[in-house]
């Protein structure tokens, strides 16, 4: 039995009893009924995911998965491919946006190399990144599959491995990514699952102009036509049109959900990974929390496909796990509301209509 198969075996469901206990307490808090709205929804959701009231959320890890893309050579990004490795080193040094926001949230950042087109042996040797490299980037998906099926499975299983390795010291996971060109495969995946026109789903990514955007749309259209992915097979879609980090994020979600741990899904690329995970195992959706809605037009469409309403809408377009890091504050707030706000009986306060 493969790691993916064993992970999907007896996949958990959220805990209705724990969710009910959380709701019963939330119904009795010293405030007008459900006065804190979606924070109270989130508290109930966290109890159902973890199977515990109060839900454990103190130990937080953002996993930033890095990989390069063959499609980047087609000029679909405003930045050159070498920025991927440069930003990996910046994150390791603590100088990126994700580092600032993770520190503020009390979360650690773990960088995973699934396919960076560079030798990162020095960082691996120093224990500063996790080495799960499959290849030095994917292939150009306009010419054929981005990766082999075996590589696609390996990407997903690498994410599962990361979830298992970090699981003993993590109560809440956040997804993140780094990879120049990765909004292009993400747009392809979202367009397929949404049944939406590629032009409607595809955005400007790192800030490309109108001419580059039209070129990017055309490249995705060509990739879909060349590869003819099997819509009933998420591994086939990942292999033909995806990226190593997208597969890794899908696996991370599956691995975390299998441990009954909530996963804060970051932006557009992470949500493409979440769609792959959801089509591999539909029950995994219930363990995902949409952290925010980004500026990418396809992100709104992707979230609708997942049936998720984002916690934040701040016009973010960075990635790295930054939206997930910001949403961690709301996760902790929700858990504290559930546990620290007194009930009417505990506080000796009369209820409405009493």
Render 118-171 in DSSP notation, one character per residue.
Answer: S--HHHHHTTSSEE---SSS---TTTS-SS-HHHHHHHHHHHHHHHHHHGGG-S
Provide the token pair at 73.
């050579």
Whole-angstrom distance, CA of residue 133 vs CA of residue 182: 17
pLDDT of residue 122: 98
Question: Does residue 107 surpass a pLDDT of 90?
Answer: yes
Question: Does residue 354 surpass a pLDDT of 90?
Answer: no
Report residue 5's pLDDT band, with 50, 70 and 90 as the boundaries. Answer: very high
* Mean pLDDT confidence for 14-37: 97
pLDDT of residue 274: 98
Residues in the chain: 354
CATH code, 60-331: 3.40.50.10210
Provide the token pair at 57.
């959320």
Question: Does residue 266 surpass a pLDDT of 90?
Answer: yes
Percent over 70 (pLDDT), the chain = 100
Query: 75 or 253: which carries more pLDDT confidence?
Result: 253
Question: With the C-alpha atoms ordered 224, 229, 235, 239, is the resulting torsion angle positive or negative?
Answer: negative
For strands 107-115 and 130-131, give the pairing: parallel
Residue identified by tokens 């454990």 is 56
> Where is average pLDDT lowest: 113-117, 288-292, 303-307, 347-351?
347-351
* Mean pLDDT confidence for 156-174: 98
* Mean pLDDT confidence for 109-119: 98
Provide the token pair at 125.
């040797």
Question: Does residue 352 surpass a pLDDT of 90?
Answer: no
Whole-angstrom distance, CA of residue 179 vs CA of residue 176: 10
* Mean pLDDT confidence for 299-303: 98
Q: Which listed residue (157, 281, 296, 320) is catalytic?
A: 320
* Mean pLDDT confidence for 278-299: 98
Cβ-contact 71, 205 below 8 angstroms: no
Per-residue model confidence as pLDDT tens digits over 210-262:
999 999 999 999 999 999 999 999 999 999 999 999 999 999 999 999 999 99
pLDDT of residue 207: 87
* Mean pLDDT confidence for 195-210: 94
φ, ψ of residue 189 to 5 degrees: the values are -65, -45
- Average pLDDT of the residues of the chain: 97
Report residue 190's pLDDT band, with 50, 70 and 90 as the boundaries. Answer: very high
Question: Does residue 141 surpass a pLDDT of 90?
Answer: yes
* Mean pLDDT confidence for 25-45: 98
* Mean pLDDT confidence for 269-280: 98
Provide the token pair at 174.
């956040």
Q: What is the pTM of this model?
A: 0.98
Cβ-Cβ contacts under 8 Å for 275 (sequence gap 6 or more): 189, 190, 193, 302, 305, 306
Q: Annotated catalytic, 245?
A: no
pLDDT of residue 185: 98
3-state secondary structure of 308: coil
Name residue 113's beta-bridge partners: 66, 131
């Amino acid at each position: 039995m493969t790691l993916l198969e064993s992970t999907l075996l007896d996949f958990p469901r959220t805990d209705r009893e724990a969710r009910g206990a959380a709701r019963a307490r939330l119904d009795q808090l010293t405030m007008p009924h459900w006065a804190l709205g979606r924070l109270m929804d989130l508290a109930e959701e966290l109890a159902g995911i973890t199977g515990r009231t109060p839900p454990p959320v103190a130990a937080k890890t953002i996993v930033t998965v890095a990989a390069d893309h063959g499609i980047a050579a087609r000029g679909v990004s405003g930045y050159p491919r070498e920025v991927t490795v440069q930003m990996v080193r910046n994150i390791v040094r603590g100088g990126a946006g994700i580092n600032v926001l993770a520190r503020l949230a009390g979360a650690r950042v773990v960088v995973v190399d699934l396919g960076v087109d560079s030798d990162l042996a020095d960082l691996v040797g120093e224990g500063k990144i996790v080495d799960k490299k499959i290849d030095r980037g994917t292939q150009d998906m306009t010419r054929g599959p981005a990766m082999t099926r075996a590589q696609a499975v390996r990407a997903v299983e690498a994410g599962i491995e990361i979830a298992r390795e970090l699981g003993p010291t993590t109560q809440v996971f956040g997804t993140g990514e780094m990879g120049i060109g990765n909004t292009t495969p993400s747009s392809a995946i979202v367009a397929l699952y949404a049944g939406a026109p590629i032009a409607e789903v595809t955005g400007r990514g790192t800030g490309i102009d109108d001419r580059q955007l039209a070129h990017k749309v055309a490249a995705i259209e060509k990739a879909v036509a060349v590869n003819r992915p099997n819509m009933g097979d998420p591994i086939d879609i990942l292999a033909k049109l995806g990226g190593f980090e997208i597969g890794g994020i899908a696996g991370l979600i599956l691995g975390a959900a299998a441990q009954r741990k909530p996963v804060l899904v970051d932006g557009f690329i992470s949500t493409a990974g979440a769609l792959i995970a959801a089509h591999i195992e539909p029950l995994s959706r219930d363990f995902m929390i949409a952290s925010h809605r980004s500026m990418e037009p396809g992100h709104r469409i992707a979230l609708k496909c997942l049936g998720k309403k984002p916690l934040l809408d701040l016009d973010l377009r960075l990635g790295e796990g930054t939206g997930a890091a910001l949403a961690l504050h709301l996760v902790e707030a929700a858990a504290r509301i559930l546990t620290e706000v007194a009930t009417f009986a505990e506080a000796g306060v009369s209820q409405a209509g009493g």
